[in-house]
Amino acid sequence: DADVTQTPRNRITKTGKRIMLECSQTKGHDRMYWYRQDPGLGLQLIYYSFDVKDINKGEISDGYSVSRQAQAKFSLSLESAIPNQTALYFCATAGGRATDTQYFGPGTRLTVL
């Protein structure tokens, strides 16, 4: 089984709809991240969390919200989806003070019509 899972893997929705993307991990990591990737571009950080009580905004948090329901679960919500939020979304985890290494989930391809 994969260490970092994301659901759904693909989603098509309409402008104005509320969407939730879910991420679960079995690595026991305390740090979790949500990124957005647009075609041909790098990864932009949306939100990150260092534990259940710690949520931080990234570079592009506007239009998004998150919830850290448990150490293993980190959800990303789009309260009112708009077409320019069409992108590939990745969840990532990291653990331990001595490492920067992040482990990514398989991604969710979101299309907003």
Partner 1 sequence: GQSLEQPSEVTAVEGAIVQINCTYQTSGFYGLSWYQQHDGGAPTFLSYNALDGLEETGRFSSFLSRSDSYGYLLLQELQMKDSASYFCAVRPMDSSYKLIFGSGTRLLVRP
Whose CA is closest to 26, among 108, 107, 103, 99?
103
Give the burial class of 11: count Cβ atoms within 10 A of its Cβ; 0-12 exposed, 13-18 middle, 19 or more buried: middle
Give the interface segment with partner 1, choosing from 15-23, 64-72, 73-81, 99-107 (CB under 8 A): 99-107
Minimum distance, C-beta of residue 88 to partner 1, in the bound complex (Å): 9
The full DSSP string for 41-95 is --EEEEEEEEETTEEEE-TT-TT-EEEEEETTEEEEEESS--GGG-EEEEEEEE-
Nearer to partner 1, 43 or 72 (CB): 43
102 binds partner 1 (CB under 8 A): yes
Q: Does 31 bind partner 1 (CB under 8 A)?
A: yes
Among the candidate windows 10-18, 42-50, 66-74, 75-83, which touches partner 1 by CB under 8 A? Answer: 42-50
Residue 1 found at the interface with partner 1 (CB under 8 A): no
Q: Which residues bind partner 1 (CB under 8 A)?
A: 31, 33, 40-43, 45, 48, 50, 58, 90, 92, 94, 99-107
